[in-house]
Amino acid sequence: MKHVCLTVILAAALSGCTHIYFDNGSPTSANKGAVTERWHHNFAAALYEGSKPVDLSIYCPNSEWQSVHTYKSFLNVVAGEAVNEIGGPIWYPKTVEVSCAQVPYKAD
The pLDDT assigned to 2 comes to 78
How far apart, in Å, do the first and last CA atoms of the chain sit? 56
Query: What confidence tens digit (pLDDT) does each residue in 41-68 have?
Result: 999 877 899 999 999 989 988 888 889 9
- Statement: residue 71 has pLDDT above 60: yes
The pLDDT assigned to 13 comes to 63
Query: What confidence tens digit (pLDDT) does each residue in 8-43 have?
Result: 777 666 666 678 898 887 666 656 677 889 999 999
DSSP H helices, the chain, are 2-14, 56-59, 74-87
The rounded percent of the chain whose pLDDT value lies above 90 is: 21
Cα–Cα distance for residue pair 16/10, rounded to 1 Å: 12
Q: H or E element: which one contains 41?
A: strand 32-43
Kindly report the pTM of this predicted structure: 0.70
> Beta strand 65-71 with 48-49: parallel, antiparallel or unpaired?
unpaired
Query: What confidence tens digit (pLDDT) does each residue in 87-107 have?
Result: 888 899 999 999 988 765 555
Query: Is 101:60 a contact under the CB 8 Å cutoff?
Result: yes
| CA distance readout (Å), 104 to 32, 34, 52, 100 | 11, 13, 28, 11
